[in-house]
Structure 1
Amino acid sequence: MILNFQQIFLLFFFGAIGSVKDQSAGCDSLYYFKNKVEVTFLKYNAKGDKTGKDIGNIEEISESNGILKSTYHLTKLDINNKVIEKSAADISCDRTGLKIGFQIPGELTENSKNMFYSYPSNMVVGQSLEGNLSFNVKSIIKGKKTDIFFSISNRKVVAEEKTKVPFGIFDTFKIQYDLQVKFKFLGLSIPMNLKIYEWYCPKLGIIKTEGYNKDGKLEETSVLYSIVTK
């Protein structure tokens, strides 16, 4: 009845070698604005076992007044390639940076809001980032009415790292934030506190995500596997 860590992790992530400090490549170098491409992330549990994959498709790319926009359609698959859910996020980018829309899957919520994570073009280590969110969602989980409280806080850049994923090796910024999820149903309140890390390449986009539980134990990893032209 209550979502486990993997399901919560899936709600939040759509999760060339270059210098992080050279951010002049522009918005059109990001995979979020590549026409007719398919972006695949592989998912692993704490033991390193593959648990599924995310497949992203970019549609509705447009540009107006120096702002690039697109819609990132995401399909989440389990280890047997069975569709878990589908969702979409609005993406925008201009000279100030990238914004990735936050969206909870439509089948779970009655009142999702349009919010976003920010990835500024002038990113530096130690910088606090936009994307602190706090909101409630009324959902139906296995036929039971459930209130879910989400709180995302303390988003900040903590390091510059050269990061290896199946797609290649990239210079990235490592971003961390706190995620609190609290379920309320049948008079009970069940909290879940998570620490999330993202590795963001300014010339490509997010290439890796990790989620840790309140005890600091790794729960799941998502890594960029491929970007192919359809």
Structure 2
Amino acid sequence: MKIKIITLIGLLFFSLPLMAQDACSTYFPFKEGAKFEITSFNKKGKKESVVNYEITSINNNVANIKAKISDAKGKEVTTTEYNVTCDGNSVSIDFKSLMNPDMFEQYKDMDMEMSGTNVEFPNNLKVGQTLKDANLKMTLNMSGIKMNMTMDMLNRTVDAKESVTTTAGTFDCFVLSYDTEMKMGMKMNFKNKEWIAKGVGVVKSENYNKKGKLMGYSELTSFTK
């Protein structure tokens, strides 16, 4: 089964939600009904896909996020859901958010088991800070044939503060970086950067191969609360 690796890596990391600020969390607060859009591009700036997110419900500091993924022409590919939990000091994003939504469609006829460690973002981000690693483990089973995939987010650090402009506006951001290691028959390594703004969330992300060459990027293109 073929997977477009560049598209896969570009989609793996834009699933983090983008929300408005409240007392629960500085960077990923909850507001029911908030909607936001992330558009992904290849390294030459050609649009590859769009994901529209909506916070559909909030119960006991757990927000349900619905994501609809569309191709470059606007045709819906699939939808998925995951949770984000706030404890007042940080937010914990369901490890299933690391899963490319398109892969749910590709593997819909297989039995799928997932486990992992959630992605955490503390409220008190500061330059020089080290963040916790995260990982996703997935087992696919079709007619007794099993296929395993793992993905690890490693060496997560807060590196700088920068201003970023997208079609959604201009934002003052912290710059985060981390390494990604994927294993699915073979091991692949990538480097990633993301820009996260107070009261908004992830505004932009860039994905690089192990040699440091840009593979693709994603940007916040719409945000309503």
- The superposition leaves residues 146-201 of structure 1 with CA deviations (integer Å, 9 ceiling, x where unpaired) of 221222210111111111121111111111111111212xxxxx222111111111
Q: Say yes or no: does 1:42 pair with 2:19.
A: no
The percentage of aligned residue pairs carrying the same residue is 28
Question: 2:164, 2:172 within 8 Å by CA — same for their partners in 1?
Answer: yes
Q: Alignment partner for residue 94 of structure 2, among 98, 101, 124? A: 101
Q: Say yes or no: does 1:119 pair with 2:115.
A: no
**Which residue of structure 2 lines up, in the alignment, with residue 168 of structure 1?**
169
**Which residue of structure 2 lines up, in the alignment, with residue 81 of structure 1?**
74
Distance 1:117 1:56 in 2: 18
Distance 1:92 1:134 in 2: 17
Q: TM-score, normalised by structure 2?
A: 0.82
Q: How does 1:199-218 map to 2 (within 5 A)?
A: 199-218=195-214
**Which residue of structure 1 lines up, in the alignment, with residue 15 of structure 2?**
14
| Superposition deviation, residue 29 in structure 1 | 7.1
RMSD, matched Cα: 2.6
Q: Say yes or no: does 1:196 pair with 2:183.
A: no
Structure-2 change in CA distance of 1:31 and 1:2 (3 Å):
same
Distance 1:194 1:26 in 2: 35
AA aligned opposite 2:87: D
Question: 2:117, 2:135 within 8 Å by CA — same for their partners in 1?
Answer: no
Q: How does 1:42-61 map to 2 (within 5 A)?
A: 42-61=39-58
| Superposition deviation, residue 28 in structure 1 | 6.8
AA aligned opposite 1:115: T
Q: Say yes or no: does 1:69 pair with 2:71.
A: no
| Superposition deviation, residue 145 in structure 1 | 4.3
AA aligned opposite 1:206: V
AA aligned opposite 2:23: G
Runs (5+) with no aligned partner, structure 1? 16-23, 185-189
Structure-2 change in CA distance of 1:140 and 1:82 (3 Å):
farther
Question: 2:9, 2:207 within 8 Å by CA — same for their partners in 1?
Answer: no
AA aligned opposite 1:59: T
Structure-2 change in CA distance of 1:152 and 1:2 (3 Å):
farther
Q: TM-score, normalised by structure 1?
A: 0.80
